[in-house]
C-alpha cells in the first residue's frame, strides 16, 4: 500500500485528529489573456519560506474555510462564503486588537496549538477579498515583482487576465500530506466572496484521493486549469473594472480548503473594416503553450520503496499531535528516497514561531495607515 491510495482506516483517523488540514497554498496564477501577469490566492505571503512543513512559518498563509484555524471533522464549521482565515490574518488581528491574548500564547508549540484550537476569531480577522484585490491591483499598477519561493522564479505581480471561454491556471503548493487535490471551483461575477454565480469546470486537476491526501505531492507544486464560462461577465470594481473572483477548494474531510483568486476579464474589441474587421483581445497576446509551466506534464512520482521514520511522519503531518494509531499506520506506508530526504531535513530544521515577525508586520501596517491618513 502506498500513500497515494491511503486506506479508509487511515483517512478516518486523520479526519478525527486535531489538525489544520489545509496544507496547500495557491502561490501563482495566470489567465489566458496575458500569462505575463501573475496573481495568487488571497492571503498568500510572498515572504513565506516553502522549504518545510510546520505550522510556522511554512503554513502561516494557508487559507482555511472555517471559523477556526485548528479543527477536526467533528468540530468544524464549513463556510461556503468568504476567502477563509489563516495564521497571518488571525495573528495580525489579535496583535492589533487583543495583543494580551496573542503574545503569551505563541511562545511554545503546545500553547500555540491550544490557542488556535480554542479561539473563533472576529470576522475582521478573515482574509479580506476587497483588500486583497486592491493590493494586487496596486502591485500591478506600480510594476512590482515578487519571487516565487517554490521555484525562485521572478514574477510580475497583478490580477490574472482571462477571457470568456478562456482559462485560469493555478499553482497549488502542497506543503504536507493533506494539501492535495482534486479541486473544485466556483466564480463570482460581482468579484465578491459572498455572491457565487456558478460552478466551474476544472479541465486539468491535481492528484489526490477522495479525501485530498497524496504522499508524492508533499513539498511540491502542481498546476491545475480552470475553464472560464462562455458567458463570462465580470462586473466587480475595486479600483479596477471587470473583476471576478474564483474560489477553489479540495475534498478534505475536515475542510474543504483552497483559496480565492481574483481575475480581470479582458473583453473583445471589434476592429474596423480598415483594420481587418477581426475581433481581438486587448494587446492581442498569443501564449506559447510550450513555454508555459501550466502546460507541462506533472513529473511522475519517484518509486516508493522505504518506510518513513516517526520523525518523518511527524514532518509529513506538519507537526500536529495525532493519536498513536495514526503514526503507527503511516509508518507502514512506503515513500521514495527523495521524500525521505525532504522530510528528514524538514524535521531537523523546524523553526519556532517568531513573535517579532508579527510585531514587525503590525508596525508596518500602522505606518501604512498613518501615511494614507496624511
Read off the pLDDT of residues 84-130 as tens digits, 9 standing for 90 and up: 988 888 888 887 788 777 665 555 566 666 677 667 777 888 999 99
Closest by CA to 335, choosing from 161, 197, 162, 219, is 219
Beta bridge partners of 222: 172
- The whole-angstrom separation of Cα 226 and Cα 6 is 27
* Residues 113, 105 contacting (CB under 8 angstroms): no
pLDDT for 226 equals 98
Domain limits at 170? 3-373
pLDDT for 138 equals 96
Angle at which helices 87-97 and 355-373 cross, to 10°? 70
Burial of 222 (0-12, 13-18, 19+ CB in 10 A): buried
C-alpha cell, 165: 471561454
Instruction: Identify the sign of the CA torsion 173, 194, 188, 146.
Output: negative
Q: What is the DSSP letter of 188?
A: E
pLDDT for 260 equals 98
Closest by CA to 112, choosing from 120, 121, 102, is 102
CA separation (Å) from 46 to 77, 129, 147, 351? 28, 17, 7, 18
Q: What is the DSSP letter of 73?
A: G
Q: What is the pLDDT of residues 340-365, one digit of tens each?
A: 887 887 777 765 555 555 556 556 65
Chain-centre distance for alpha carbon 232: 24
pLDDT for 77 equals 77
pLDDT for 127 equals 94
* Residue ranges, the chain, pLDDT below 70: 1-22, 71-76, 102-114, 117-118, 253-255, 270-302, 318-328, 350-374
- The whole-angstrom separation of Cα 36 and Cα 54 is 32
pLDDT for 99 equals 76
Contacts of 199 (CB under 8 A, 6+ apart): 184, 185, 186
* Residues 34, 286 contacting (CB under 8 angstroms): no
Closest by CA to 236, choosing from 299, 301, 190, is 190
Burial of 289 (0-12, 13-18, 19+ CB in 10 A): exposed
pLDDT for 69 equals 77
- The whole-angstrom separation of Cα 98 and Cα 255 is 27
Grid cell 498568500 in the structure block, residue:
44
C-alpha cell, 323: 493519536
Burial of 345 (0-12, 13-18, 19+ CB in 10 A): middle
Chain-centre distance for alpha carbon 172: 6
pLDDT for 139 equals 96
Grid cell 490566492 in the structure block, residue:
41
Burial of 344 (0-12, 13-18, 19+ CB in 10 A): middle
* Residues 257, 250 contacting (CB under 8 angstroms): yes
Total domains in the fold of the chain: 1
Grid cell 506533472 in the structure block, residue:
298
pLDDT for 23 equals 78
pLDDT for 307 equals 84
Amino acid at each position: 500500500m502506498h500513500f497515494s491510495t491511503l486506506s479508509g482506516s487511515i483517512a478516518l483517523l486523520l479526519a478525527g485528529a486535531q489538525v489544520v488540514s489545509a496544507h496547500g497554498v495557491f502561490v501563482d496564477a495566470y489567465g489566458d489573456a496575458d500569462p505575463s501577469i501573475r496573481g495568487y490566492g488571497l492571503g498568500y505571503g510572498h515572504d513565506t519560506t516553502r522549504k518545510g512543513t510546520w505550522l510556522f512559518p511554512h503554513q502561516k498563509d494557508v487559507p482555511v474555510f472555517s471559523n477556526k484555524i485548528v479543527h477536526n471533522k467533528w468540530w468544524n464549521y464549513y463556510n461556503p462564503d468568504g476567502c477563509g482565515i489563516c495564521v497571518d490574518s488571525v495573528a495580525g488581528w489579535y496583535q492589533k486588537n487583543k495583543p494580551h491574548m496573542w503574545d503569551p500564547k505563541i511562545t511554545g508549540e503546545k500553547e500555540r496549538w491550544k490557542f488556535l484550537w480554542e479561539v473563533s476569531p472576529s470576522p475582521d480577522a478573515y482574509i479580506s477579498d476587497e483588500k486583497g484585490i486592491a493590493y494586487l491591483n496596486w502591485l500591478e499598477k506600480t510594476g512590482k515583482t515578487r519571487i516565487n519561493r517554490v521555484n525562485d522564479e521572478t514574477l510580475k505581480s497583478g490580477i490574472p487576465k482571462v477571457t470568456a471561454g478562456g482559462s485560469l491556471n493555478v499553482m497549488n503548493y502542497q506543503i504536507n500530506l493533506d494539501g492535495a487535490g482534486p479541486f473544485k471551483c466556483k466564480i463570482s461575477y460581482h468579484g465578491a466572496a459572498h455572491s457565487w454565480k456558478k460552478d466551474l469546470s476544472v479541465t486539468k486537476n491535481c492528484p489526490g484521493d477522495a479525501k485530498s491526501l497524496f504522499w508524492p505531492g508533499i513539498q511540491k507544486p502542481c498546476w491545475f486549469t480552470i475553464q472560464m464560462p462562455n458567458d463570462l461577465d465580470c462586473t466587480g470594481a475595486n479600483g479596477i473594472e471587470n473583476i471576478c473572483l474564483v474560489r477553489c477548494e479540495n475534498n478534505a474531510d475536515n475542510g474543504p480548503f483552497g483559496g480565492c483568486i481574483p481575475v480581470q476579464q479582458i473583453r473583445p474589441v471589434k476592429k474596423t473594416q480598415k483594420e481587418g474587421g477581426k475581433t481581438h483581445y486587448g494587446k492581442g497576446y498569443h501564449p506559447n503553450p510550450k513555454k508555459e509551466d501550466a502546460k507541462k506534464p506533472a513529473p511522475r512520482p519517484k518509486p516508493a520503496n522505504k518506510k518513513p521514520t516517526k520523525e518523518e511522519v511527524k514532518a509529513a503531518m506538519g507537526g500536529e499531535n495525532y493519536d498513536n494509531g495514526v503514526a503507527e499506520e503511516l509508518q507502514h506506508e512506503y515513500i521514495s528516497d527523495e521524500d525521505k530526504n525532504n522530510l528528514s531535513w524538514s524535521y531537523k530544521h523546524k523553526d519556532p514561531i517568531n513573535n517579532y515577525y508579527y510585531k514587525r508586520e503590525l508596525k508596518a501596517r500602522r505606518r501604512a495607515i498613518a501615511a494614507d491618513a496624511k
